A and B are shown apart, each in its own frame.
Chain A
Amino acid sequence: MPTITLSGEPFEVDEDGFIQDPARWNESVAKGLASEEGITELTEDHWKVIRFLHNYYAQFGSAPMVRKLSKETGFDLKTIYKLFPTGPAKGACKLAGLPKPTGCV
């Protein structure tokens, strides 16, 4: 399995760069992954999305519905795509340390 180095620490990632152990996530991981997703700087708006996703995953064990993400953060889908060019399921979930969603979605 491929490994990447974030803040000097090695992390196992899948083929698309999602970290494999969500428990090892921290804010410097998000910062380290941002550039890969075409994000130059993580603003407070980015953090709002990342924190919601991370906390939801910690509580429920899976990703939330995009509608729920929009409702809770107040950002519509267009805004989320502006913040995370590869979208909520890929870019935002990756930075928040969630696994890649797999199944009929």
Chain B
Amino acid sequence: MSEDAKPARPAKVPFAPSSRDWLEPTVKFAAGRWSYSAKPKSLRTLEFPNPRDWSPDQPDWKLPDNWKEIILQGLRERMDRFRSLRLFMDCCVRCGACADKCHYFIGTGDPKNMPVLRAELLRSVYRGEMTLAGRLLGRWAGGRRLTPEVLKEWFYYFYQCTECRRCSVFCPFGIDQAEITMLGRELLNLLGLNINWVMEPAAKCFTTGNHLGITPHGLKDNLEFFVDSIEEITGVRVNPSINRKGADVLFVAPSGDLLAEPGIFTLMGYLLVLHQSGLNYTWSSYASEGGNFGMFASHELMKGLNAKIYAEARRLGVKWILGGECGHMWRVAHQYMETMNGPADFLQEPISPITGTHFQNARTTRMVHIAEFTADLIQQGKLKLAPERNDRYRVTFHDSCNPARSMGLLEEPRYILRSTCRHFHEMPAETIREKTFCCGCGAGLGGEECMDLRMRGGIPRAEAVRSVREKYGVNLLSSICAIDRAVLPTLMDHWVPGVGVAGLHELVGNALVLDGEKERTINLRGEPLHEGET
């Protein structure tokens, strides 16, 4: 981390415009703002081009001789294939509405992190190489040629975008900056320019079933550990199954919840709700990952990873799919699945067997979010809740970008929080719901090596948490994304020490009164239910 981003000395962010022409590529790979390159082994597994050892901070990127031709041909093909890209290349009027909406621009002050300018890095090449005006007039028409320096600039800035789409909410044309980043990264991937935090987990999804490489027997071992822990806390033994044919529902969670705190407490919450509801469901060791890092690399990879879940649903013969508190999984499911792998008409329209509710919003994907499932159970009076068990917490809610902006999951988590916690406080209106600020680490930018970028990008979210900490004494930041659970603890420790992080279903698990449970004295973390007790 650079010196000026230490909490004792709040980050000094220079917003003064540079005197240099923006069309001149200026890439200095600043310490802590870039991610390690992908290992050749992962690229070979995924059958991606140009596997080799290289590093973004070294001068030689070991590109094929015809790299320029590959990129321009790749851009042409994608302009033909994606109407959205063609539109986004031409329709921006550079009004600047998006400029100050990006957490990375706010945190770094780097003008090329303004969404409009980040997109111009690609548009300028489109104009300079592919339009008549740009070819004739060059920079007078906002065009430039594709040079090795421009390519490095693309890599630097397309890996400083979390595809969170906050800027798109404010764009009068609705330009989807995430799709520009996705396409920009897809082009870079044609040359083997990618980052390890994306490619290694994606490769492991195919070799072992999930990002973390948890094997089938590892999955079983972990679930047994949670079953024992739950029994110690509640006196009730839950009985999850794996790869069971005859189950009504396939449950798919992000694999981070199987391994790391605080995700494991969220997972214990899933187990408790699913047990108490009586749903006939199964886990899978093949589809043991909700997250889809293909969205950060290429459409083909995204499609392949999404297809795994549906292939397993078909193999097991379930009626529908229930998904856990994952982030990017839900943009893929709601906005890409139907045209990539759908329709999932071999599954049934999801109906809760407990309440009879039809989840009509999921009638094409046949995939229901667990917050929808649980909110319905609560609303229909099927769960007995003791919200006072969460009294040690003053809770606020971070809308995770993709469930909020890509599927509109805004009310269900709040309904659940109000039902399971007695002290719930919202952050300022411009930082929540569809205007939520990113955790600063999405789209593969969760590596330790880009910590400076992470902490800077997280400033807007951290400031919003600070405001409710000061106003209401908030001490817990809840969210519904595994990347959030992995990275927000570091962000909170850095900017707002004393605020913990939890998934929604951890709080549900604490409050849920189970049939036959013993008197609960500790929560799922093993802490006493009320502050001050020992």
For A65, list chain B residues within 8 Å (CB).
Answer: 222, 225, 258-260, 264
- Given A62-B212, A66-B261, A105-B259, are A16 and B218 also a contact pair (CB < 8 Å)? no
Query: Count of chain B residues with Cβ under 8 Å from any Cβ of A?
Result: 40
A39-63 interface bits toward B, Cβ cutoff 8 Å, 1 = contact, 0 = none: 0000000000000000000011111
Query: Would you list which residues of chain B between 271 and 297 have a CB under 8 Å from chain A?
Result: 291
Asked whether, in the complex, the Cβ of B483 is within 8 Å of the Cβ of A104, the reply is: yes
B207-224 interface bits toward A, Cβ cutoff 8 Å, 1 = contact, 0 = none: 010111111011001100
For A67, list chain B residues within 8 Å (CB).
Answer: 225, 229, 261, 264
Asked whether, in the complex, the Cβ of A1 is within 8 Å of the Cβ of B483, the reply is: no
What residue in chain B is nearest A60 (Cβ atoms)?
B218
For B447, list chain A residues within 8 Å (CB).
Answer: 102
CA of A104 to CA of B264, assembled, Å: 12
For A16, list chain B residues within 8 Å (CB).
Answer: 448-449
Query: Would you list which residues of chain B between 165 and 211 have a CB under 8 Å from chain A?
Result: 196-197, 200-201, 204, 208, 210-211
- Given A103-B201, A104-B256, are A62 and B263 also a contact pair (CB < 8 Å)? no
Asked whether, in the complex, the Cβ of A68 is within 8 Å of the Cβ of B225, the reply is: yes
What's the minimum C-beta distance from B58 to chain A, rounded to whole angstroms?
12
Most buried by B among A66, A67, A68, A104: A104
Asked whether, in the complex, the Cβ of B214 is within 8 Å of the Cβ of A62, the reply is: yes
What's the minimum C-beta distance from B2 to chain A, rounded to whole angstroms?
18
B interface majority secondary structure: helix
Asked whether, in the complex, the Cβ of A103 is within 8 Å of the Cβ of B255, the reply is: yes
- Does any Cβ of B come within 8 Å of A9's Cβ? no
Asked whether, in the complex, the Cβ of A1 is within 8 Å of the Cβ of B255, the reply is: no
A49-93 interface bits toward B, Cβ cutoff 8 Å, 1 = contact, 0 = none: 000000000011111011110000000000000000000000000
CA of A51 to CA of B428, assembled, Å: 49
Asked whether, in the complex, the Cβ of B225 is within 8 Å of the Cβ of A102, the reply is: no
For B53, list chain A residues within 8 Å (CB).
Answer: 1
For B196, list chain A residues within 8 Å (CB).
Answer: 102
A interface majority secondary structure: loop
What residue in chain B is nearest A66 (Cβ atoms)?
B261
CA of A104 to CA of B441, assembled, Å: 10
- Does any Cβ of A come within 8 Å of B486's Cβ? yes
- Given A60-B215, A62-B218, A65-B222, are A102 and B261 also a contact pair (CB < 8 Å)? no
Asked whether, in the complex, the Cβ of B222 is within 8 Å of the Cβ of A104, the reply is: no
For B36, list chain A residues within 8 Å (CB).
Answer: 14-15
- Given A61-B218, A62-B215, are A105 and B225 also a contact pair (CB < 8 Å)? no
For A105, list chain B residues within 8 Å (CB).
Answer: 212, 256, 259-260, 263, 486
Asked whether, in the complex, the Cβ of B449 is within 8 Å of the Cβ of A15, the reply is: yes
What's the minimum C-beta distance from B7 to chain A, rounded to whole angstroms?
20
* 15 A–B pairs (Cβ distance < 8 Å), ordered by A: A15-B55, A15-B449, A16-B448, A60-B215, A65-B264, A102-B197, A102-B201, A103-B204, A103-B212, A103-B486, A104-B260, A104-B446, A104-B483, A105-B259, A105-B260
Chain B interface (Cβ within 8 Å of chain A)? Answer: 36, 39, 53, 55, 196-197, 200-201, 204, 208, 210-215, 217-218, 221-222, 225, 229, 254-256, 258-261, 263-264, 291, 446-449, 482-483, 485-486
Other than A60-B214, A105-B259, give 16 A-B pairs with Cβ distance below 8 A: A60-B217, A60-B221, A61-B215, A62-B218, A65-B259, A66-B261, A102-B212, A103-B200, A103-B212, A104-B211, A104-B254, A104-B263, A104-B446, A104-B482, A105-B256, A105-B486
